[in-house]
Amino acid sequence: MTDITVNKPQPFLPQEEMVTYYRGADLPTTLKTLEEGNPVLVTEFYNNGSVLLKELQRHLNKKLPNKTFKEQREYRAAYHKLSNLIVIEIEAHQLAVKKAPSIGWFSKLYPNTPDFLLTFPQVQGLNSAWQWYENGITIPVLRNKIHPYYGVYFPTRFEHLILFDNWVKRYEGPKKNAIDVGFGSGILALQMVKYGFQKVFGTDTNPNAIIGLTEAMGETKLSRKIDLDYGSLFGKWDKPTELIVFNPPWLPETRHSENLDEAIYYNKTLFPAFFEAAKEMLLPGGKLVLIFSNLAQITGLSKTNPIEEELEKGGRFKLEDCYKKSVKRASEKTKRDLHWRTTEEVELWVLTH
Ligand SMILES: C[S@@+](CC[C@H](N)C(=O)[O-])C[C@H]1O[C@@H](n2cnc3c(N)ncnc32)[C@H](O)[C@@H]1O
């Protein structure tokens, strides 16, 4: 565990003299400062930061067209650049302004740095992540809430977890060992333990996933049932098991992917490397279970499904079963942008040697 470094926003290095933003500060001067590439420090009230972000949006809306795909990208790039020059001060692990939310990540993620600066958008991200972590999320297939650690993937829709739950519930093979590749906040591992697996070995390439689940399990019984390794695919685990599960990223990365989140986007090598390694790591008679979705295909991001491709060309595995479940329509609010959601389906693939 000693070689794991948590992912967190890098502190902003203070400049000598910084322009400050407060109620009644001259807006054109403030915006000019940002456009010249200089930081602006939010003072007095936390809300001043949100006000300045809104003013920045208004300013850019007047200045930049935001219609075509290219214009939207340029608009977002400009907003990203300027909004990240808006900074705020943290003192003794607390925001140094009035009426500010209290964000526990400051002491958890920066234990030896009580005073520092972050950009305002980073602090907004830390704040919402803290709400999720503190309040927890109810997952229909688990008795206890999960408390997702900063920067770790957690599900917001649950159809695929229900599909997996129904499958493990009926699974009648041996339950000594299983491997959960890319365990994230640990839900699939917890489901396997719930149905009687004695030991689950998990891996993830996101250090925060290891730190988060280790903390969540603490000294409980679970910590003796779930072993974690920070590494790619099977990490340090080299003993073949009777069950391997993988809920991989569902979208192929493209030239235009702005956010290369490893929980969401896969690169060309991920699936071939996974199947190659899984062939060695699956016991004879064992099951390889993948959770996937037709999201990439129905949005036109991809013409093929990497699991079907493996079955057709890999020559390593046979299809035992594929279960599908349609995904509830997106909420009313987002529906108009996501008309394709109507045909979205999650898939549970069961492969054998
Ligand atoms: C879609 S999330 C699934 C998380 C969790 N298993 C679940 O079902 O809620 C994919 C996870 O795989 C991890 N991941 C991506 N590439 C990986 C790799 N090559 N090896 C191990 N984990 C990987 C990501 O960091 C992320 O936590």
Residue 53 Cα to ligand 1 middle (Å): 33
Write down how long the chain is.
353
Q: Domain check: are 170 and 43 in the same one?
A: no
Residue 114 Cα to ligand 1 middle (Å): 32
pLDDT of residue 258: 58
Residue 161 Cα to ligand 1 middle (Å): 14
Is the pLDDT at 122 greater than 80? The verdict is yes
Kindly state the DSSP code that residue 78 receives in the 8-state scheme. Answer: H
Q: Domain check: are 344 and 215 in the same one?
A: yes
Confirm or reject: Cβ of 253 under 6 Å from ligand 1. Answer: no
Q: Domain check: are 334 and 212 in the same one?
A: yes
* The ligand 1 atom nearest the CA atom of 246: 6
Best of 132, 167, 183, 190 to mutate for ligand 1, by most ligand atoms within 8 A of CB? 183
Confirm or reject: Cβ of 153 under 6 Å from ligand 1. Answer: yes
Confirm or reject: Cβ of 182 under 6 Å from ligand 1. Answer: yes
Chain-wide mean pLDDT for the chain? Answer: 93
- Residues 328-337: what's their mean pLDDT? 56
* The ligand 1 atom nearest the CA atom of 270: 19
Is the pLDDT at 348 greater than 70? The verdict is yes
The closest of 184, 146, 140, 181 to 163, measured between CA atoms, is: 140
Residue 328 confidence class, pLDDT cut points 50, 70, 90? confident
Q: Is 344 helix (H, G, I), strand (E, B) or coil?
A: coil
Q: Considering only CA atoms, which residue is closest to atom 26 of ligand 1?
A: 263
Q: Domain check: are 171 and 234 in the same one?
A: yes
Is the pLDDT at 188 greater than 80? The verdict is yes
Is the residue at 106 inside a domain?
yes
Confirm or reject: Cβ of 188 under 6 Å from ligand 1. Answer: yes
Instruction: Give pLDDT tens digits for 242-253.
Output: 999 999 999 998
Confirm or reject: Cβ of 184 under 6 Å from ligand 1. Answer: yes
Is the residue at 146 inside a domain?
no
Is the residue at 284 inside a domain?
yes
- Which range (69-73, 107-111, 183-187, 189-193) has the least confidence? 69-73
Is the pLDDT at 88 greater than 60? The verdict is yes
The closest of 34, 32, 30, 35 to 20, measured between CA atoms, is: 30
Paired strand residues for 293 = 346
Confirm or reject: Cβ of 203 under 6 Å from ligand 1. Answer: yes
Is the residue at 255 inside a domain?
yes
Is the pLDDT at 334 greater than 70? The verdict is no
Is the pLDDT at 14 greater than 80? The verdict is no
Q: Domain check: are 209 and 328 in the same one?
A: yes
Q: Domain check: are 187 and 325 in the same one?
A: yes
Q: Domain check: are 106 and 205 in the same one?
A: no
Q: What is the pTM of this model?
A: 0.92
Contact 121, 85 (CB under 8 A): no
**What is the radius of gyration, based on Cα positions, of the chain?**
23
Q: Domain check: are 253 and 344 in the same one?
A: yes
Is the residue at 13 inside a domain?
no
Task: Name the packing angle between helices 69-83 and 47-63 (round to 10°).
Answer: 140
pLDDT of residue 94: 98
Query: CATH code at 222?
Result: 3.40.50.150
Paired strand residues for 243 = 178, 287
Residue 184 Cα to ligand 1 middle (Å): 5
Is the residue at 197 inside a domain?
yes
Contact partners, residue 283, CB within 8 Å, separation at least 6 = 240, 241, 242
* Full residue range of the structural domain in which residue 74 is found: 19-133
- Residues 144-158: what's their mean pLDDT? 96
Q: What domain count does the chain have?
A: 2
Residue 259 confidence class, pLDDT cut points 50, 70, 90? low
Is the residue at 68 inside a domain?
yes
Q: Domain check: are 190 and 299 in the same one?
A: yes
Q: Domain check: are 102 and 226 in the same one?
A: no
Neighbours of 220 (CB within 10 A): 9
Q: Which of 96, 117, 133 is the last residue of a domain?
A: 133
Determine if residue 306 is left, alpha or beta; phi over 0 gives left, psi from -120 to 50 gives alpha, anything else beta. alpha
pLDDT of residue 67: 84
Q: Domain check: are 213 and 319 in the same one?
A: yes
Q: Domain check: are 176 and 310 in the same one?
A: yes
Is the residue at 12 inside a domain?
no
